[in-house]
Amino acid sequence: MKPPLFFALPGNESLGAVLAGRLSAELGELTVRRFPDGESYVRLESDIKGRSAVFLCTLDRPDEKFLPLLFAAETARDLGAARVGLIAPYLAYMRQDARFQPGEGITSTYFAKTLSRHFDWLLTVDPHLHRRDSLSEIYEIPAKALHAAPVLSAWIGKNVKNPLVIGPDEESRQWAQAVAGGNGAPAIVLEKKRLGDRKVEVSAPEAGRYKGRTAVLVDDIISTGQTMVAAVKHLAAEGFSSPICLGVHGVFTENACEDLLAAGAGAVVTANTIPHPSNQIDVSGIIAEGCREFLGG
């Protein structure tokens, strides 16, 4: 049987090349562009008949990426692909997981249902499972969530002396402990109140015990950056200067990264699930390992 073909959607080419290399897979040729009227044009130039197709598409800013991705998957199926998988290092639409106001759509469920109709399997890194235990609660296909905690932990071990790891909220306590644990560092969590899309209040009631350590804020997502901005300011007032901000997924809406540095962050560091100059943590190794399960070996 021929090896799988990896197709990187626009913007995912460099991680695609690394993954194909790590898995000794072949990189397929995929063209995605817009017609003048704004509709999407998709063409698979590699022969996919009878082979597994693996699409790599990180899903920050998902609305503009989603239709070309579905068209590419359907094209592969139409051309005879044996299986069609999706690696989405950042999985979108995980945060609206409940009806907070009457009439709201629970978009995480609708998004999961739609992806499940077009792909045979899904691989992602640290999806935002806040009120859910696993992806299988909403995904109808085999869906695997990989954990970046060990690589975050390794980065801290190499780059930060005497760290204090601080998670974003009570639900993240175990995760923050896993990130801290590898270095024998303490982990605490913030008390967080979200007052709106861009308004967050935090406090770090346990921080006082750890004065003298370097504060390392860890979060799964940095989006508007307001959670971290509030935390950086709060920690500065408590005597922790220049906290390091570590995010798995740097979504960074508008000037979020610059705002964080202006608020007093000592550094902003993310994993390469979403391409950004702050990417210092490489997750290609864990993605490649996770992928083997779906590719049969």
Active site residues: 192
Do the Cβ atoms of 251 and 223 come closer than 8 Å?
A: yes
Cβ nearer to ligand R5P, comparing 69 with 202: 202
> Around 166, how many Cα atoms within 13 Å sit in the side-chain half-sphere?
30
Cα 115 → chain centroid: 17
Q: How far is the CB of 73 from ligand R5P (least distance, A)?
A: 27
Report the SS3 class of residue 102.
Answer: coil
Site string (210-229) toward ligand R5P, x via CB under 6 A = ---------xxxxxxxxx--
Site string (226-265) toward ligand R5P, x via CB under 6 A = xx--------------------------------------
Could you give the CA distance from residue 272 to residue 288 in angstroms, rounded to a whole number? 13
- Count of residues in contact with ligand R5P, rule CB under 6 A: 12
Q: Provide the Cα torsion 176, 182, 187, 189; round to 10°.
A: -10
Could you give the CA distance from residue 244 to residue 159 in angstroms, rounded to a whole number? 10
Q: How far is the CB of 192 from ligand R5P (least distance, A)?
A: 7
Site string (176-195) toward ligand R5P, x via CB under 6 A = --------------------
Do the Cβ atoms of 5 and 46 come closer than 8 Å?
A: yes
For residue 285, how many other CB atoms are within 10 A of its CB? 13
Interaction between residue 200 and ligand R5P (CB under 6 A) = yes
Do the Cβ atoms of 124 and 144 come closer than 8 Å?
A: yes
Cβ nearer to ligand R5P, comparing 108 with 284: 108
Cβ nearer to ligand R5P, comparing 89 with 168: 168
Q: How far is the CB of 277 from ligand R5P (least distance, A)?
A: 17
Which residues, in sequence order, are bridge partners of residue 27?
6
Q: How far is the CB of 50 from ligand R5P (least distance, A)?
A: 41
Interaction between residue 168 and ligand R5P (CB under 6 A) = yes
Question: Which residues contribute to the site for ligand R5P (CB under 6 A)?
Answer: 130, 168, 200, 219-227
